[in-house]
Chains A and B, each alone.
Chain A
Amino acid sequence: MRSDRAPLGLKIAAGAGLAFLHLPILLIFVYAFTTEDTSYQWPPPGLTLEWFAVTWNRPDVWEALGLSLKVACFSTAIALVLGTLCAAAVARSRFFGREAISLLVILPIALPGIITGISLRSAFHLMDIPFSTLTIVLGHATFCIVVVYNNAVARFRRTSASLIEASMDLGATSFQTFRLVILPNIATALLAGGMLAFALSFDEVIVTTFTAGRQQTLPIWMLEELVRPRQRPVTNVVAMVVVLVTFLPILGAYYLTRGTETVAGHGK
């Protein structure tokens, strides 16, 4: 006989596990309002909104945020194009080297980030390429491709080939078919993949430390504060904002791909 109710022990273990995953993030929200500014004292001696105003007036935070957004936009755009092309090729046909291509796409995220980072750095060094926004984007786009690819390849497999044949039979050219038939079918998968790629790039720190030179993206700014804490209250506020900013694309990607077999996010 199979009971549909979970044993109590399992419920407690699963609930405790979820709590373990979420309580540390909730703690960040409390610390953003604390009046204590020299230590990580718990419980907070008082609550204040003061640090939000202080953070708002900090030019270095705005600059780091701006650079992060710029890098994430460019990397996402490149990853969208390359990831979709790659997915279209792999999903539709069998060819020599197909396995190698899918491995190549996954490799940048399967190998530890430090290896990707140090490889790019020594390559830039060998070729005398100075560090710039471009070098950051080169690194980010490389590991963002896989996220778009995973989402797009799943959708291509579910899209029926007869749709495309029907469109061509009815006299549409390849380009019209792409614009009017293929694109509407894969649009939500691309949007979801793009959002996840954006979140991945916005948050990336390990590869970025090797490709940024002196520039500061928001994660690099946070890393500086973690290694040498200077303005703890400002860091608390920035940490909370970063959590909120990354949650939005994840929720968006979830609602866009809900109900399909492969829900976005499995690809990280």
Chain B
Amino acid sequence: MSDAASPSRLSDTLWRRPRLLLLLLLIPPALWLGIVYLGALFALLAQSFFSIDDFTGLIRYEWTLRTYGELFRAANLDIILRTVAMATAVTIGAAIIAFPIAYFAARYARGKWKAVFYLGIMLPLWSSYLVKVYAWKLILAREGILNWLFETLHLGWLLNAYLSLPVVGGNSLSVSWTGTFLVFLYVWLPYMILPVQASLERIPPSLIEASGDLGADPRATLRNVILPLALPGIVAGSIFTFSLTLGDYIIPQIIGTSARMIGQAVYQFQGTAGNIPLAAAFAVVPIVIMGIYLTIARRAGAFDAL
């Protein structure tokens, strides 16, 4: 009798005391994320306040800000500035390419085309990151399709002229900053399209009609009505493109010059160099940059568009 009664008594207790139920629901995920994730994160951050002994190469377990000071050495500062510049360029490029796709999908695509656009953005977003990078290795290779295309169109001279430019050029596209930029742009583009599309879908069509009725030509409507309303979406998308570019270490390793970005620096300092404190300090840089960025984004209302 008591065996049959106990589940129903437990059930009654849960119903009468919703706070208890809430607690039971929350404990497992909170424990997991708290221990596995936050624990690990704090373990890393704590290490950034230690330093490495120059003579022995061992970690000295004393609280110090010396490791953070090292970030401001010219070579390390270069890495940070280079990465931020790349993230900015990728974000701007992604916004420009994403806008027409998002605008068409939000305003003109109906029925079947709506589904085509939805899956057309979703499949590249979810398909394998490494396969996408690999595809670009095939495209940018010297014997690859892009060179072939330029040669076939008798435009080889144009590509060579571009590659001889400083900074963006290089021996071939696959070892140039242009190559790195293209791959970043390609891989993170869907993350920009989705929030922009979401913000465009929320613009009532009557607003655009009203703008036209009041005498604005399409260009003026775009500039004065649509773009300001789409801005939170663009900012939301830029959070992804910016953050993902800041932390990536695989793309610049496979396609690009030998100059490092933050992700590669973190990877090397913790791996071959064995300088965990400096790696940890470097890992704090994207966190701080994203913290500042998110504060600005919150003011721009980007979180409503996520």
**A contact residues vs B (CB 8 Å cutoff):** 1-2, 4-7, 10-11, 13-14, 17-18, 20-22, 24-25, 27-28, 31, 39-43, 78, 81-83, 85-86, 88-89, 92-93, 95, 101, 104-105, 107-108, 110-116, 118-123, 126, 138, 141-142, 145, 168, 173-175, 196, 199, 203, 205-206, 219, 222-223, 226-227, 235, 239, 242-243, 246-247, 250-251, 254, 263, 265-266, 268
Contacts and interface: CB of A to CB of B under 8 A. Distances in A.
A14 B101 contact: yes
Please provide the 3 A-B residue pairs with the shortest distance between their CB atoms, ordered closest to farther.
A112-B247, A13-B100, A14-B104
B300 interface: no
Interface string B14-47: 1100100010011011101110111111011001
Nearest to A239: B131
Which of A10, A110, A219 counts the most B-chain CB atoms under 10 A from its CB? A10
A203 B30 CA distance: 26
B89 to A, nearest CB: 17
Contact of A89 (B25, B118, B145, B280): B25
A173 B7 contact: yes
A6 B266 contact: no
B156 interface: no
A95 B25 CA distance: 13
Contacts, number: 256
B72 interface: no
B159 interface: no
B104 A174 contact: no
A223 B250 contact: yes
A7 B8 contact: no
Given A119-B37, A268-B125, 18 more contacts: A21-B189, A81-B28, A82-B32, A101-B29, A104-B33, A111-B290, A115-B286, A116-B41, A119-B41, A119-B43, A219-B128, A222-B130, A223-B250, A250-B122, A250-B123, A250-B126, A250-B127, A268-B191
A85 B250 contact: no
Interface in B137-153: 137-139, 141, 143-145, 148
Nearest to B269: A118
A122 B29 contact: no
A6 B104 CA distance: 7
A41 B143 contact: yes
A112 B131 contact: no
Nearest to B267: A114
A227 B29 contact: no
A5 to B, nearest CB: 8
A243 B133 CA distance: 12
B22 A93 contact: yes
18 contacts: A2-B205, A10-B100, A18-B120, A21-B120, A25-B135, A82-B29, A83-B29, A86-B29, A104-B33, A105-B29, A112-B243, A115-B286, A122-B47, A142-B33, A173-B11, A219-B129, A242-B131, A268-B126
B28 to A, nearest CB: 6
B279 interface: yes
A138 B286 contact: no
B124 A25 contact: yes
A118 B266 contact: yes
Contacts of B30: 86, 101, 104
